[in-house]
Structure 1
Amino acid sequence: MFNRSLLVSLVFTLILIVSLPNETNSANILGFFPSPSKSHILIHSAIADALGHAGHNVTVLSTVPNINKNGKYNFIYINASNFADKFAKEMINNPQPVYKRMSQLVSNVIGMANETMGHPTMQQFLKNHKKSSFDLILYGYFMNEFHFGLSAYFDCPTVVSFVVQPMLAINSLVGNPEQISYVPTVLSGLKQPLTFFGRVQNFLASLVESLVLKYLLNHGNNKYYRTYFPADEYPSLDEIKKNISLVFTNHHFSQGPIRPNVPAMVEIGGIQIKEKPDPLPEDIKQHLDSAKNGAIFFSLGSNVKGSFLPKEKAKLLFDVLSKLPYKVLWKWEEADAPGFADNIVYRSWLPQDDILAHPNVKLFITHAGQGSVVESQFHGVPMVCIPLFGDQPANALNVIRAGYGLSLDYINLNAEDFKNTIIEVLDNPKYTNTIKQFSVLYRDRPMSARQVAVFWVEYILRHKGAKHMQSPAVFLNSWQLLSLDVIGFLLAVLFVVILIFIKLCKLICCRRKGKCVGKSIKTKKSN
């Protein structure tokens, strides 16, 4: 006999489920990632993959071949020219401070962004997809602000992904406060709390970033924006930038610096790190499993190939590593290998996150790119840093200060220092203990980075761009943000009040003086 109460219960449950607001409706999301760097695409594609696994229909356009072969998104490759190899080679063989190459870097990046936008694959994509084809666009930010016009083209909200802690150009997108009195700039290499001279240095660094970088960015982006988004059809780029719903930064407050963030600035540090590592290729797994004394992982990042380094520098590295009693896994093109040894395995591309998760990896020799440092911190692997360019020197300095490892100067690198530094970090337990302690802290979150990313994207979708999250600072210029207009007005008022007061005092004095003179004359006449 059928249980009537059970039927009633099932019907009630079904009605309740149907009546609940549907917060997981599948949205059409476009991921637009024109950065030439593979390490950048790792970050951006991780967000796209998380959204795909959450049930959304995600399409990714990228100028780098798909790195995440198992990513849950539709991938379209835009085969534009990539200047990353040339730029990296120049920086390695002719190192210069980043500010000396800033103009060249910005020009190259914006030039490639223009080429990407005008590429036949991109133009065909736009012809096939008209207004309202997408519910949201996820941009991989790399100085390509004129691309924000795509949000007006598709009439949908904008979410931006940035690969390090927020800097001036990123903060300005959502009105995030700079706070240069105590928040070090990305490239300064300064540590909190700032000393007086640290604040001076930070102020000057921020001023240079504001005047130089912002000018270069605005000039290049405004030039190309009107090429693709004419004034008779689209608002200005400044207006477009005032409608950005959200910015993701690959950063976490536990890394420092401590800083205030507006609601539209969301930290997703470590988004590229898998919650469960993928199985390693069998040959790599065997190499690491057989490392009785431990293994060293050596990679100078996704943009640096072995052939970029001078042969004498490569030979120096090989001579030291080949004589150590450790297995070595080296990201290097085997055809350009500086030598072969039983303890060294070369591969042109390696699953870095999965390798660092292996328990036998005891040391990471790295270029100190932000993504690499974060993965090393997450897995608790100490580092020897060989920074090359960009934010890497500042990242390496932070590694030293935090006690996670040591750093070497690439230009003056010699065999003795290289060997001694490796041995110091491997043999001194303080580096391993310190970074493992931080690993526990870094992982301690209410939600994973992927969960945070999915929640906030869906929040923006649910609330049609979430205008209520927008900071009023977006609509103020620099003078207004610093209240210089208010201070000027109050000073003007004070000046007028003081002027009136002085005039009144003079008038009163004159009248009194006049009366005194009049009395004196009358007295003289009466006498």
Structure 2
Amino acid sequence: MNVKITVLVLFHFWTTINGYKILGLFPHPGKSHFDAFRPLLKALAEKGHEVTVISYFPQKNPMKNYKDIDINGELKLHTHAVNVDDFTGARYEKYILPIVLAYFGYRSCDDGLSNKDLHEFLKTKPKFDIVLAEFFNSQCFLGIVHQLNNPPIIGLSSCIVMPWHSIAFGHSSNPAYIPNSFMPFSTHMTFFERVENTVLYLFHQAIFKFLIDIPGQWQARKHLGNDIPDLNDIATNSSLILVNNHFTYTSSRPLVPGYIEVGGMFIGKPKKLPQWGIEKSSSRRFNDIDPVAMVHVGWENVSVPYVSVAD
């Protein structure tokens, strides 16, 4: 009798855990973009899921359930610091930047999809339950989803979704009342701002079509096979997108249920400030300032001038 009770109690606490096989696709060679979702990938692996990541940034220290497919070849990675003073905020920069992003997207497609390790990996015909795909300045890596028999896709964006990707997720970007993310417009635009906003919207759609979509389709078929379908069809089959953004940054606007803001997800537990982070300084470099506590504010890819803090 006691044995039966013991068995029943054991079965009561018996739980079945099924880990998913997850593939991450990160075609952009910008480290700050990848770092926005690195904590998510590591957390999934720690929870017991099998995570395979195709990117330019493999883990320095291998971890359990986390496998890297390093696609870095001859492409220069964007890991250096960017001086914010280099961006003047001039009007022409708003129009040139999307073209520059499209160019980097084309380069990453050619370099990444031609990688030998990637093709050796695809020859094994792996199976995945879900794909986490970055949506930024290219779509060519979505051809890999087709080769894997089209598992469900969850989109990832390390910043506010680019104007050319909104359509794929049914997200409204009506230029009549939604400011373009490349412009400094508020939600209360003047008539002429709405006109420029509309012109820029059409300009971005043209950039996407001729500098991202068509070249990306060509690259995907060149490296993955002529049977790759329209990449836009694959993109529109995405279930949802996780966006590293917060509504206070973009102000209120209509969002579809599949557009989920996860701003700050990459922020870990706070650590104690190192002693060298704040120091007394009366350097000649700051001879026009009274001796104060100098705090250097910076990120891994961005550096800004020193900020003085009074005692």
Q: TM-score range by the shorter chain?
A: 0.7 to 0.9
Picking from 215, 225, 232, the partner of 1:220 is 215
Deviation of 1:40 after TM superposition, in Å, equals 0.5
Tell me whether 1:51 sits opposite 2:51 in the alignment.
no
Unaligned runs of 5+ residues in structure 1 are: 294-316, 332-348, 353-365, 368-385, 387-417, 428-527
Query: How far apart are 1:34 and its partner, in Å?
Result: 2.4
Look up the SS of the partner of 2:270 in the other structure: coil
- 8 Å CA contact retained: 1:184, 1:257: no
Q: Report how far residue 292 of structure 1 moved.
A: 7.6
Instruction: Mark the CA change 1:321 to 1:245 in structure 2 (over 3 Å): closer, same or farther.
Output: farther
Partner secondary structure for residue 80 of structure 1: coil
Kindly tell me: are residues 194 and 35 of structure 1, through their superposed partners in 2, closer, same or farther at Cα, counting changes over 3 Å? same
d(CA) in 2 for partners of 1:291, 1:125: 50
Q: 1:29 aligns with which of 2, 19, 22?
A: 22
Name the structure 2 match of 1:355: none
Q: Distance in 2 between matches of 1:119 and 1:146?
A: 14
Tell me if structure 2 keeps the 8 A contact 1:33–1:44: no
Residues 180, 202 of structure 1: 8 Å contact kept:
yes
1:106 shift after superposition? 1.4
TM-score if structure 2 supplies the norm length?
Answer: 0.80
Matched, 1:287 2:284: no
Task: Specify the code of the residue in structure 2 equivalent to 1:171.
Answer: S
The residue number in structure 2 matching 1:107 is: 103
Give the CA RMSD over aligned residues.
3.8
Distance 1:13 1:114, change over 3 A: same
Match of 2:285 in 1: 319
- 1:9-408 → structure 2 map (5 Å cutoff): 11=8, 14-15=11-12, 24-66=17-59, 73-85=66-78, 97-100=93-96, 102-128=98-124, 130-131=125-126, 133-155=127-149, 156-231=151-226, 233-274=227-268, 276-278=269-271, 285-288=274-277, 291=279, 319-320=285-286, 325-329=292-296
Map 1:394-473 onto structure 2 (within 5 A).
Answer: 422=307, 426=309
The answer (yes or no) to whether the contact 1:62–1:76 under 8 Å persists in 2 is: yes
Q: Distance in 2 between matches of 1:28 and 1:175?
A: 27
1:183–1:258 Cα contact (<8 Å) kept: no
CA displacement at 1:112 relative to structure 2: 2.0
Letter in 2 for 1:326: A
Query: Does the C-alpha gap of structure 1 residues 271 and 91 become closer, same or farther in structure 2, counting only changes over 3 Å?
Result: closer
Query: Do 2:31 and 2:79's aligned partners in 1 also have CA atoms closer than 8 Å?
Result: no
8 Å contact kept, 2:75–2:111: no
Q: Quick check: 2:157–2:243 contact (8 Å CA) kept in 1?
A: yes
Residues 80 and 112 in structure 1, CA contact (< 8 A), matched pair in contact too: no
1:465-505 Cα deviation digits (max 9, x unpaired)? xxxxxxxxxxxxxxxxxxxxxxxxxxxxxxxxxxxxxxxxx
Deviation for aligned residue 1:116 = 0.7
Larger radius of gyration: 1
Q: From the superposition, tell whether residues 66 and 141 of structure 1 become closer, same or farther in structure 2 (CA, over 3 Å).
A: farther
1: distance between equivalents of 2:70 and 2:288? 39
Equivalent pair of 2:168/2:232 in contact (CA under 8 Å): no
| Structure 2 contact 133–156 (Cα < 8 Å) conserved | yes
Greater helix share, structure number = 1
Distance 1:193 1:69 in 2: 49
TM-score, normalised relative to structure 1: 0.50
Q: What do residues 33-60 of structure 1 show as CA deviations (whole Å, max 9, x unaligned)? A: 2211111111121221222233211122
% identity of equivalent residues = 25
Q: Is the 8 A contact 2:136 2:162 kept in 1?
A: no
Question: Relative to 1, partners in 2 of residues 1:17 and 1:194: Cα closer, same or farther, differing over 3 Å?
Answer: farther
Shift of 1:69: 7.2
CA distance in 1, matches of 2:220, 2:104: 16
Cα pair distance change 1:167/1:32, threshold 3 Å: closer
Contact 1:45-1:71 within 8 A present in 2 as well: no
Q: Is the 8 A contact 1:138 1:160 kept in 2?
A: yes
User: What SS does the aligned partner of 1:235 have?
Assistant: coil
Displacement of 1:153 after TM fit?
1.0
Shift of residue 180, structure 1, vs aligned partner: 2.3
Higher RCO, Cα 8 Å, sep 6+: 2
**Counterpart amino acid of residue 14 in structure 1:** F
CA distance change for structure 1 residues 253 and 102 in 2, over 3 Å: closer, same or farther? closer
How far 1:277 sits from its partner (Å)? 2.8
Quote the offset at 1:83 in angstroms.
3.6
Query: Which deviations, in whole Å up to 9, do the C-alpha atoms of 1:115-146 show, x marking residues without a partner?
Result: 11111121222223x05x22112122332202
Q: In structure 2, do the counterparts of structure 1 residues 318 and 187 end up closer, same or farther at CA, with 3 Å as the change threshold?
A: farther
Amino acid at match of 1:267: E
Q: CA deviation at 1:68?
A: 8.1
For residues 72 and 262 of structure 2, the distance between their equivalents in structure 1, rounded to whole angstroms, comes to 29
Q: Which runs of 5+ in 2 are unaligned?
A: none
